[in-house]
Structure 1
Amino acid sequence: MRRNARRMRRYGVQPVAMIDDLEFAPLVIAGIARLVWRYRSELAPLIVAASVLLNGVILRRWFPEWWSTVLISAIGMAAALVVWGRWANLPRPIERGYAAFTTAFVGTWLTLATYIGPFTPPLPAVLGITSLVLAVPWWAHRRRRARVRVERTLAAWPDIAQAVGLAGSRIQSAMVDLWGYRFRLGLGVGQTVEDAVNAVPRLESALGTTRGGVRVLPVASKKANRADVRVIETDPHADAIVWPGPSITSITQPAKLGLFEDGAPVRVPLLRRHGLFAGMSGAGKSGGVNVLLGDLTACQDVILWAVDLKRGMELLPWMSCIDRLATTPQEAEALLADAVVILDGRADDLTRRGERVWEPSPDRPALIIVIDEYAELASEAPRAITYADSIARRGRAPAVNLIAATQRPSKDAMGKSAVRSQMDVRLCFRVREPRDGDLVLGQGMVKAGWHPHKLDAPGKFLISSPEHDIPRRARTYLLDDEGVRATAERHAEHRPPLDEVSAQALLRAAEMPVMPPQPTVQPSPRHARDSAAREAEETLTATLRQAPSDGVSIGDLIRATGMRRTWVYQRLQELGRVRQVEQVARGRWRALPEVHDL
């Protein structure tokens, strides 16, 4: 009995009084099964070899005619592992090769066992020796050993959860990758993802990771009682990622700006969207803008304009691909004013065509305006901010969009306009303080787990857009000065010309007299106006009186008066406030019937 008790303690079974030898055998089996389960990863090659032998016996006994099917299936599976093995968590070629060779060997052995018998010499010896040879890479593989270590760490999760303040949570699944491991966490009753985010420092201590090595993210299904926890043991973004070349040939395709920590590409649709690149000096904004320009210059349905008030220091290398570059406040103001003219011209064209959006093509390209250091524009060219605000609010449908880069997009830096609120694609590089993260990404984002102040290398960023609502860290590609020069030279000869609609709008605007802004007051004959303005007002009045029942278009009023679109709109708004004119349809106006003297 004493000897039996010692045996039971050795196998983790508590001794029980009055146990005889007949009851001891099941306890020994249970202890062996527990050891096999605990060391199942180490014993996997031997278990697989025994399984192959058993399958060979079954195939030979009951399905001997299946030998050709087994061979074809093995060849197909081996080829699939070579081609698509990365989707089966085999990212490295040597791993895919090992898996394919093992599959091919097992298939070949089973084919011979089915055809001539599993115990026909030398098949048993070949199976035993080859299994041991193939077991050596398995036993030595880093990820297998890491998986065992992770499983044993997570086996203690109930104690860890109690220590970090997540009592009642449980591990639902776990996976080891090249850079660490991740697991799905089922939260306890009443716990939220925000609770798990707040517990990150305690999780780092309990799991024994480095500071900043734990990420807690909401799950893709957006279930409130689930969270994805990722433990980074080897930073996948420790080194810069070389730009592989343009990823798109049309603005209708999503641009690839970098890679997430799991190796997935950061793809962002930019058509009819405004973008904001923000972060402190040296965080990698300029590098991100260069990567974006590398993709946009490869598109033959995009016209690029740019504003760089550093006298062109940042964007001048792209000059051969940029149709227009402003390097002074006066040039910036003129450029944005012309962009508004193009916007209005395209809007009129869409109205005439009965269309709602401008579809980019080489003949009708989108217009994207890149503004580097937007804060300089707000301080040195305040009038330009008015034009930028108009583009931000009205530019989506006519495909006239802004990409702004700035260090800190405060209200002062953005010119107290609505530009920032219209930016629905935001790349936030490292910021100095947590509150700056809320300033870039939106109020409350830092509390929700977006921590751009913890980014620790140039080029690392968080992206917020309609497609990216989870705080996943990413890093932009590295496109150095030599790469910028070579890319610009290669793409320069394929740049599209400005479309006819936009060119005609600019031509008409250049021929119109430039009027000083009029005060927004009710019209009165006592106001002093010069002869040109008075004549234009009289023409406007006559045209509105003669308008048919469906009104006259803005374009016709512009041509009749010879004034700019902004002047015409301002006068129509003044007259509408005193109930002298009315808007009968989108872009069409007429004088009220009862009014005889405007």
Structure 2
Amino acid sequence: MASTSGTVGSAVCRWCSRLRFELAPAAATFGLTGLSWLHHATGFGWAEHAMYGVATAATGALTTGGLKFRNRGATAIGIGGTAMALNTWIGAAMGPSVPSLIAGGAVTIASYGVYVPWLVKARHERIALQIKAAKNGTLPEGLGVNVGQPGVTGDSEEETALRRALVALGVPAQDVSRIVFTDTGWHAAVTLPPGRNTSAEAVIARRRQLEANLDLPGKLRLAVGAQANQLIVRMQTFDQLAEPVAWPGPAVTSAEQPIPIGVYPDGSQILLDLMSGHVLVAGGTNMGKSGAVNVIIGNLAACSDAEILGIDMKPGALELGPWQRNMLALADDADGARQLLVRLKAEMIRRGKYLATLRGPKGERVRKWTREHGKYLVLIIDELAELLRQAPDVVAELLTLMQVSRAMGIRIIAATQSPSEQAFGGKGTDARQQYGTRIGLPVNEPTPINMIFGTGAYGMGWRLDWLDLPGKVMVSSERYNEPNEGRCYWINDDQITSTSLQFARYEVAEPPTDPAEPDPDPDPEPDRPTPPPPPSGGGLASGRPLLRAVPTFPDGSRIPENRTAVWEALQKAGPDGLTKPEMVAAGLAGHGTSLQGPLSQWVAKGWVDDTGKRGQAKVYVFSAPAHTPADTSPTAEKENSACPASR
């Protein structure tokens, strides 16, 4: 109850403070009336009547003199004084009564009849003068500094400070929406006057001066509002993103799902819609670009409907190399990048021709690739500018892919720390329009900001130079069309390794133990294996081939050689089963052709059970019935039709 009363009282006080100039006549009238009632309670005699009479006569004489000599000031003071004296005289003589209330009300109404026109005129003249000065340029010295004037107030300390700071800046606010307070600070929308130097962009360019004028705790953030003359003001008093936010692990199983890459101060996730188009990741050196790319790859690795391809222009693929076991292809130099792009372009053409043969339920042509047609292909390019510097001839293939490949289920995620005209195709070509999502990390200059988000972005609030920590980010996409500061997840090397192993698809050759010091002596030729002696009663001497039992699945079909090791390992593991990381760590034959394919087939046929888990990884347990392969060895009496016995 006490808390509610305190809240109501605080709100009433703020309201009275904001409207103190409008409430001044009423406050004066009722204050004097109350004092007159107090005077009546303490005793009122003929002496007091005489005193009030003299005061009334004096103010009346002042009114008469003002009218006689046409002095508006003296006349106004005389009329106001006479009304106040009469009101106070009646209240002191009669105390709290109906006549006293009538007198007080009449005086209040009359005072407002004179006061309101004066107040409105004074405010309009002052605002017009400030707007005119702002349009003409810098304010004259001293103008706008003394802001303790009627109208330069708000219903809170923050709004008052904001209004006064804008006046001191030479941009008086026409209107300020009610300030909204949150756990991290407050924000408001300000309507600015029209003029050359009073636009939202002009105020944003002078943010530091406005922040100094405000003199409030926190970090000031500005952006252009819905209207051209609307300024969004955000003051952040508590930074919830000051500490790194740990990556929680893969959160999607399909590339068609929005990928969470970070969080906003309110706790909501920053979502990347890969289906909306290609992605650009750009920022300064050591500002979190690689971390953002790794978070994206970590989620894509868990997507069964996506294949990842990579181009890493650092020798040895230092950035994307840890994900090699999850990638269909990885190039680490210009030649490899050329080959990969050519292959990807050929696949794009093949997919386009395939889509041309498809028809919908009503006979309409299919124009968009979905997971039903096959896996999505996601090309990750780390350091786009370096790729185009080392291999400028790939621009044509890359631009063709960016402009055409979306319909064929191909997406490109390009990362660069040098956003420039060359990085986006060179002079006469601007590939930025093909990036449906643009992820900006901290930079220090306005030029890269406009290169990332488009011309004029710097003035519209996309201020990457305001991001004060690595990993802080602004995202522009169909989902996010206004600048908002967030922070990307932080992924460490252990998470990269464990996630890569958990969702491994391809075999990675182990590097040599000491590649810097190769053995000067060439390796000797391996000895040719000696064929085993044929068993008695058969073999090459009798003209029959040496055959062995062929391993088969429970349905009688033959087990391919590259699947045999995995099948036998699952049989030997028994009820404990194996996870994919354990299979990869054991170096099983056949895992280089992707474990996901055969395991999914065996689960679908009921030969392997995948309902269990060990940690976060699925456990695959052999559940097929016992099966003995048929003996396909020929007998001594029966010849092999492919190799007849010699006679």
Partner residue in 2 for 1:302: 306
Partner AA of 1:387 in structure 2: E
Partner AA of 1:180 in structure 2: G
Partner residue in 1 for 2:496: 484
> Residues 301, 419 of structure 1: CA spacing in aligned structure 2 closer, same or farther, 3 A cutoff?
same
3-state SS in 1 of match to 2:311: strand
CA distance in 1, matches of 2:285, 2:215: 33
Partner residue in 2 for 1:283: 287
> Residues 8, 206 of structure 1: CA spacing in aligned structure 2 closer, same or farther, 3 A cutoff?
farther
CA positional deviation for 1:303: 1.0
CA contact (8 A) 1:343 1:395 kept: yes
1:320 to 321, 325, 328: 325
CA positional deviation for 1:158: 4.2
TM-score, normalised to structure 1, is: 0.56
Pairing 1:166-565 to 2, within 5 Å after superposition? 166-188=171-193, 192-209=199-216, 213-219=219-225, 222-271=226-275, 273-310=277-314, 311-354=316-359, 355-361=365-371, 364-416=374-426, 418-492=430-504
CA contact (8 A) 1:168 1:189 kept: no
CA contact (8 A) 1:308 1:326 kept: yes
> Residues 180, 272 of structure 1: CA spacing in aligned structure 2 closer, same or farther, 3 A cutoff?
closer
CA contact (8 A) 2:276 2:436 kept: no
CA distance in 2, matches of 1:490, 1:347: 33
CA positional deviation for 1:366: 1.0
* Per-residue CA distance 1:321-362 (angstroms, 9 max, x = gap): 111111122111111110000000001011111444343327
3-state SS in 2 of match to 1:462: strand
* Per-residue CA distance 1:477-505 (angstroms, 9 max, x = gap): 1111111112222223699xxxxxxxxxx
3-state SS in 1 of match to 2:326: coil
CA positional deviation for 1:289: 0.4
CA distance in 2, matches of 1:243, 1:347: 37
Partner residue in 2 for 1:164: 169
CA positional deviation for 1:371: 0.5
- Percent sequence identity is 28
CA distance in 2, matches of 1:343, 1:209: 56
CA positional deviation for 1:420: 3.5
Partner AA of 1:17 in structure 2: A
CA RMSD of aligned residues (A): 3.3
Partner residue in 1 for 2:5: none
CA contact (8 A) 2:161 2:214 kept: no
Unaligned ranges ≥5, structure 1:
31-148, 496-598
* Per-residue CA distance 1:427-449 (angstroms, 9 max, x = gap): 12122311121122212211222
CA positional deviation for 1:415: 4.8
CA positional deviation for 1:276: 1.0
After the TM superposition, which of the residue ranges 386-395 and 280-289 deviates more from structure 2? 386-395
Partner AA of 2:221 in structure 1: R
CA distance in 1, matches of 2:388, 2:466: 29
> Residues 23, 336 of structure 1: CA spacing in aligned structure 2 closer, same or farther, 3 A cutoff?
farther
> Residues 377, 155 of structure 1: CA spacing in aligned structure 2 closer, same or farther, 3 A cutoff?
closer
After the TM superposition, which of the residue ranges 291-300 and 408-417 deviates more from structure 2? 408-417
CA distance in 2, matches of 1:227, 1:209: 18
> Residues 167, 341 of structure 1: CA spacing in aligned structure 2 closer, same or farther, 3 A cutoff?
same
Q: Which has the larger radius of gyration?
A: 2
CA distance in 2, matches of 1:194, 1:183: 16
CA contact (8 A) 1:389 1:418 kept: no
CA positional deviation for 1:305: 0.4
After the TM superposition, which of the residue ranges 269-278 and 284-293 deviates more from structure 2? 269-278
* Per-residue CA distance 1:112-149 (angstroms, 9 max, x = gap): xxxxxxxxxxxxxxxxxxxxxxxxxxxxxxxxxxxxx9
CA distance in 2, matches of 1:301, 1:374: 25
After the TM superposition, which of the residue ranges 196-205 and 342-351 deviates more from structure 2? 196-205
> Residues 300, 174 of structure 1: CA spacing in aligned structure 2 closer, same or farther, 3 A cutoff?
same
After the TM superposition, which of the residue ranges 329-338 and 182-191 deviates more from structure 2? 182-191
CA distance in 2, matches of 1:260, 1:164: 31
3-state SS in 1 of match to 2:325: coil
* Per-residue CA distance 1:16-48 (angstroms, 9 max, x = gap): 43422546998xx99xxxxxxxxxxxxxxxxxx
CA positional deviation for 1:245: 2.5
Partner residue in 2 for 1:575: none
CA distance in 1, matches of 2:199, 2:158: 23
Partner residue in 2 for 1:570: none
CA positional deviation for 1:392: 0.9
CA distance in 2, matches of 1:8, 1:234: 48
> Residues 386, 263 of structure 1: CA spacing in aligned structure 2 closer, same or farther, 3 A cutoff?
same
* Per-residue CA distance 1:548-579 (angstroms, 9 max, x = gap): xxxxxxxxxxxxxxxxxxxxxxxxxxxxxxxx
